[in-house]
Structure formats: C-alpha cells, structure tokens
C-alpha cells in the first residue's frame, strides 16, 4: 500500500503557558490519502482552524507527529517548512487576498515571481492556471472589474499555478452568494477529480456535502469522520 499523503498522530497544540495556557488540540489523529476531498467542520474553538494551520505548515504542533509524504514536518526548521509550503501546498482564503491594482494574470503570477521564475515561464504558467478556472478572457481585468466568484477563481488559479499536491481552502465560499458558492464548489470538485487533494474548512453543511470525507472537530479532538456515502448524503447533484 502507498503511504498516506498526510498523517497526524496524537497532535497537540497549546497556546500560552502557566495559568494562561490553552490547549487547542488534545491529541488529534487523522490520515489523509492522496486524491481525497476533505471538509473540516466544527464549532468555533473546536480546533479545526488550528489543525489547518498545522497542515499548511503555518504553525507547528506542541506534541505528536505530523508526516507529509513520509517526512516528519515537526522536525523541520522554519526554512524547510517554508520550502515544503511553497513546493507542495496551495492556499485559498475567504477574503480572496488579491492585489487591487494588478490584473488577474499578474495576481496569479505572484507565487512564481517569489520563486524567481522568468517572465515568460510565469506568464505561460499563469495562463494555464487561469484556463483551469475558466478565466482566460478576464486575464487583463483587475479585481474591481470582476465578480466575487471570479475573484475567488483568480485566487484558486493563484493557488494552482505552482502545481501543488494539496489545495487548502479556508471558508472559500464565505464571502459569496449561493449561486457563486455552488460555482466555486463545482470547480473544486472538478479539480479534485483531476487529482488534486483538497482540504477545506467550512461551516456550511451544503458546501461540505461536495467533499468525499467530512472530519468533524469538537473540543480539540476529531469527534467523528464521515466517509463515502455518509459524507455525500444530501450532496448536490
């Protein structure tokens, strides 16, 4: 059997110290295989966002083991985690986080600019990513000239331009109306069908229904995992 893409074993996370210490994660165990589409859900303070920050190499656990592609991430230094993040992970946020005075194409090029890629390679890769999300005709438009759904598509293209193994989406439909939300979820489902592993935090049950697996957090622990038919129950057609 191939090794899991991601393994969390007994992950704990404590913020603060002494009397002010708060244990956000209390021993999280979770395995994610390549090609999964996972929705992470739970009430405020349940630990889902802390877990996503650890999965995205934006934070480190206090205890436990976090393996990514077999590598124990908690043993890496900051530069090594940064390299892992740039090479293998793509991020999509609720607020789009686009630069207002640059075009869709230039926004998508940014991760490759930070990598030091040539202008020609950046442009070619960014156009491919915009094509993946159906926005090539809007490549020269600024965010102000795009709808909310189109802006989120640009943000997804920016996450895809580095060809990541994993797309981490934090409330990707949180700022969108119902029609645009469905549009984005259909896009994420298609990208997952093409082989990208997707981890998504959401508080919306109808959006989570697009996932193959739903992981529900409560009080710093995984409360339950719903897979296959159970996770898809009520999934949009």
Question: Which H/E stretch holds residue 81?
Answer: helix 78-88
The per-residue pLDDT string of the chain (237 residues; one tens digit each, 9 = 90 and over) reads: 678 999 999 999 999 988 889 999 999 999 999 999 999 999 999 999 999 999 999 999 999 999 999 999 999 999 999 999 989 999 998 888 899 999 999 999 999 988 889 999 999 999 999 999 999 999 999 999 999 999 999 999 999 999 999 999 999 998 889 999 999 999 999 999 999 999 999 999 999 999 999 999 999 999 999 986 445 554 554
Beta carbons within 10 angstroms of residue 187's beta carbon: 18
For the chain, the straight-line distance linking the first and the last C-alpha, in angstroms and rounded, comes to 32
225-236 burial, b at 16+ Cβ within 10 Å, e below that, comes to ebeeeebbeeee
CATH code of domain 6-232? 3.40.50.300
Residues 6+ apart with CB under 8 A from 224: 216
Strand partners, 7: 31, 67
The span from the CA of 203 to the CA of 58, in Å, is 21
Query: Tokens 């893409």 sit at which residue?
Result: 5
Per DSSP, 2 falls in state P
* pTM, to two decimals: 0.89
């Amino acid at each position: 059997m191939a090794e899991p893409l991601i393994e969390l074993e007994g992950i704990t996370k404590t913020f603060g110290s002494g009397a002010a210490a708060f244990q956000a994660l209390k021993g999280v165990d979770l395995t994610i295989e390549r090609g999964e589409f996972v929705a992470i859900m739970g009430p405020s303070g349940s630990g889902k966002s802390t877990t996503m920050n650890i999965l995205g190499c934006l934070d480190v656990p206090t205890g436990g083991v976090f393996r990514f592609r077999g590598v124990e991430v908690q043993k890496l230094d900051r530069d090594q985690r940064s390299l892992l993040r740039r090479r293998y992970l793509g991020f999509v946020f609720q607020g789009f986080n686009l630069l207002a005075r640059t075009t869709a194409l230039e926004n998508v090029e940014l991760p490759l600019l930070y990598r030091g890629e040539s202008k020609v390679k950046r442009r070619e890769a960014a156009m491919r990513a915009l094509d993946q999300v159906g926005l090539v005709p809007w490549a020269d438009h600024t965010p102000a000239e795009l709808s909310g759904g189109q802006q989120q598509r640009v943000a997804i293209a920016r996450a895809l331009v580095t060809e990541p193994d994993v797309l981490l989406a934090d409330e990707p439909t949180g700022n969108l109306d119902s029609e645009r939300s469905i549009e984005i979820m259909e896009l994420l489902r298609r990208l997952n069908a093409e082989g990208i592993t997707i981890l998504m935090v959401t508080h919306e049950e109808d959006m989570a229904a697009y996932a193959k697996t739903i992981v529900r957090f409560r009080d710093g622990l995984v409360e339950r995992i719903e897979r296959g038919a159970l996770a898809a129950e009520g999934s949009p057609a």
